[in-house]
Structure 1
Amino acid sequence: MTGTPEDPRTGPSHRPVPAELRPYLEELVRRTHAACGDFLVSVLAVGSVALGDYRHGRSDVDVMVVVEPSLPGAALHELTGELAHPRLPCPAAGLELVVYGTDAVSRPSGTAGYLLDLNTGPQLPGRASFDPAQSPAFWYVIDRAVAHRAGLVLYGSPAERVVAAPDRTEVLAAVAASVREHTEGEGHLADNRVLNGCRSVVYCRTGRWTAKRAAAREIAATEQRFGPLVAAALHSFERPRTAAAALPAAEVRAFLHWVQEAVDESARTPGP
């Protein structure tokens, strides 16, 4: 075994895991280790948990698992069954778990590159993909970039040791693709489209990944024309997913077009 179990309540930044998730993540780590054995390298909380912005009843719990690439395929199928809701009841809106081989995350890449992409949970359509060609790459590029900077260790080696520093050009291409996805709006809540747009602009300005709500407050303070829309998105984000507010469609599109311009401009200039 390449690592030793960590207390899920702390990580390299000593940010606590939300109390609502602690028993769940402890059991997730236990089952992941049981399925992967000595091939398991790291289990990392990413997304809103890592960035300190988890909102119970609204947020997913995002987890990255890193394994030796020689892990037998049968172990991935076993893991899928062991972690599927409701066999392991997910207290969050859903679990988004991605398994990578060390060979895929030890160098920058603009590809999806996963061994398993598992979505499961009470408010998340179930999905288990073993073929990265089935998925748009940009989500995974962004998640790995966040993981390198902020991944919260639940087990094993720290994120910065196993996940390579991302290539800025590849990350900006991924951010641009994510903004296009959110502009189309299919399958995305309006408030999340706006808040992700705010986070994209803050990344372009600063080179750092920020919690969505903190990014939104930063954009509202510096871009007053979008202040009412961002405030409405923040207010809606405090509600459960099923009670999310509808936001003016034309204003959301105009905002995301502005975000796209900011990303394109960042891609043309040296980074921060």
Structure 2
Amino acid sequence: MTDTIDARPSLPRELRAYLEELVVRTRTVCGPHLVSVSAVGSLALDDYRHGRSDVDVTVVVDPALPGPALHDLAGALAHPGLPCPAPGLELVVYGADFAGRPSGEAGYLLDLNTGPLLPNRAAFDAAGSPAFWYVIDRSVAHQAGLSLYGRPAREVIAAPKRSAVLAAIRASVREHSDGEGHLADNRVLNGCRSVVFCRTGRWTAKRAAAQETAAAEEEFRPLIDAAVRSFERPRSSPDPLPGTEVRAFLAWVRERVEETGGTAGD
């Protein structure tokens, strides 16, 4: 780490001390086997909203890291032992051999969810896990991952093939169409982001993607504008959105993704 996290203006001030300590604990547990720690998700895309967004972190380690160290790391980073100032921490650890090649698989060594609004969960076996979340996160990490320690994300995390990313987006849209466990505003904004990726091949911040989609699709502008207003509120008190309109919008998103998937190569 060539500079301190506190010196990086792109990181929200509310998270800097937390991320510094997260890196310290990760280095302590992983020692010389630690390759990289990167902020991904909303932090990487400069769209973090305090009180609403999770902290998304990707860690890459040497495959020779002893297995018990992963359990030690999950314990060292779990809330409230390390108090998370955001609603949650979503941290994924990959082996450098897996992360360095394109893949449409989940492929993690550790998937840790923890925080005041997330139930503590640590998974150590990627077999059977829905792959799409991880494929999308690695695609974002390769494009825009913000280095917190070690080698830059782009050097150690390969971009999944476009066909794999589009398959992941399709699975994501299906998940959000079902609606269970997801806030309505996030379902809409993720749909906007998916459409913009299909058009441009790049990940965009949710609010920027919403603005672009609303400008191009007048029919959905009121719903998208309402989703953006709700997104500005704390996660515990979102605005209600009309379920029928949300489902209709996501059906339209799914059609756009299917059209792109039918014409795109790897």
Q: TM over 0.5, yes or no?
A: yes
Letter in 2 for 1:31: R
Give the alignment's TM-score, normalised by structure 2: 0.97
Letter in 2 for 1:139: W
User: SS of the residue aligned with 1:242?
Assistant: coil
User: SS of the residue aligned with 2:119?
Assistant: coil
Unaligned stretches of 5+ in structure 1? Answer: none
In structure 1, distance between residues paired with 2:234 and 2:240 = 13
In structure 2, distance between residues paired with 1:112 and 1:8 = 29
Of 144, 148, 157, which aligns to 2:151? 157
In structure 1, distance between residues paired with 2:9 and 2:176 = 29
Partner of 2:219: 225
Mean CA deviation greater in 22-31 or 124-133: 124-133
In structure 2, distance between residues paired with 1:136 and 1:204 = 21
> Alpha-carbon deviation of 1:270?
3.5
1:146-184 per-residue CA deviation (whole Å, 9 max, x = no partner) reads 000000000000111101122000000000000000000
1:8 pairs with 2:2: no
Identity %: 69
**Alpha carbons 2:6, 2:17 under 8 Å: kept:** no
**Alpha carbons 1:138, 1:175 under 8 Å: kept:** yes
> Alpha-carbon deviation of 1:125?
1.7
Partner of 2:16: 22
Of 227, 241, 245, which aligns to 2:239? 245
> Alpha-carbon deviation of 1:7?
2.5
1:83-107 per-residue CA deviation (whole Å, 9 max, x = no partner) reads 0000000000100000000011111
**Alpha carbons 1:6, 1:155 under 8 Å: kept:** no
Letter in 1 for 2:4: D
Give the alignment's TM-score, normalised by structure 1: 0.95
Of 177, 183, 189, which aligns to 2:171? 177
Unaligned stretches of 5+ in structure 2? Answer: none
Partner of 1:141: 135
**Alpha carbons 1:40, 1:66 under 8 Å: kept:** yes
1:23-45 per-residue CA deviation (whole Å, 9 max, x = no partner) reads 00000000000000000000000
Partner of 2:95: 101
User: SS of the residue aligned with 1:64?
Assistant: strand
Regions of 4+ moved over 3 Å: none
The root-mean-square deviation of aligned C-alpha atoms, in Å, is 1.4
Number of residues of Structure 1 aligned to a counterpart in Structure 2: 266
Equivalent positions of 1:177-196 (< 5 A) are: 177-196=171-190
1:263 pairs with 2:257: yes
